[in-house]
């Protein structure tokens, strides 16, 4: 009986110590991680809405499906965070709209196929620059990437959601 109880007690003690250490480390690092995420989100908003110095979050009740967050900038523009389903999974994007035109679009995260779908969502590819200055009625004219039809379509659907949210918040605010 001693040969069975002793290893179980040692293993249980090790598990308790490791669990306590993980809980402590999590409590120490959670505020740091949250602060870093908030800072990254603020920087992304500033990047897509140049000239703005502050943002006020908009009530999510006005937001259509696909738009996860919206902010009114102090320069009269709006910033929208969208999530859409691409070929490889979710694509998270942020878009600025000022005077009925896209100021900038940036991909925050994606899991699209490297070399094909990633050409659509990769910020370094320059594809998102094709949407700068486009209004709701003409952003659909931007050509998609050959071989990445699903990713290109998802990108445009997210922007359509952003324009839908833009119209809704313009009327409400």
The model's pTM is 0.78
> Are residues 47 and 111 in contact, defined by beta-carbon separation less than 8 angstroms?
no
In this predicted structure, the answer to whether residue 146 has a pLDDT above a threshold of 90 is no
Q: What residues have CB less than 8 Å from 173, skipping those under 6 apart?
A: 58, 72
| Number of CB atoms found within 10 A of residue 51's CB | 13
Band the pLDDT of 142: cuts 50, 70, 90: confident
Band the pLDDT of 119: cuts 50, 70, 90: low
pLDDT in tens, 53-100: 999 999 888 788 889 999 999 998 999 999 999 888 888 999 999 999
Question: In angstroms, rounded to a whole number, what is the distance separating the alpha carbons of residues 149 and 153?
Answer: 6
Domains in the chain: boundaries = 1-173
How far apart, in Å, are the Cα atoms of 6 and each of 13, 20, 120, 163? 11, 21, 58, 65
């Amino acid at each position: 009986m001693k040969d069975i109880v002793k290893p179980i007690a040692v293993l249980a003690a090790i598990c308790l110590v490791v669990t306590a250490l993980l809980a402590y480390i999590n409590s120490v690092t959670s505020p740091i991680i949250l602060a870093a995420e908030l800072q990254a989100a603020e920087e992304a908003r500033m990047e897509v809405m140049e000239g703005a110095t502050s943002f006020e979050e908009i009530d999510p009740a006005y937001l259509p499906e696909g738009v996860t967050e919206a902010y009114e900038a102090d320069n009269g523009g709006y910033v929208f965070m969208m999530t859409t389903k691409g070929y490889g999974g979710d694509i998270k994007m942020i878009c600025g709209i000022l005077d009925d035109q896209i100021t900038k679009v940036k991909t925050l995260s994606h899991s699209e196929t490297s070399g094909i779908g990633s050409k659509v969502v990769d910020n370094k590819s320059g594809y998102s620059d094709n949407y700068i200055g486009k209004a709701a009625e003409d952003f659909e004219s931007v050509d998609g990437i050959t071989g990445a039809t699903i990713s290109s379509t998802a990108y445009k659907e997210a922007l359509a959601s952003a324009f839908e949210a833009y119209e809704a918040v313009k009327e409400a605010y």
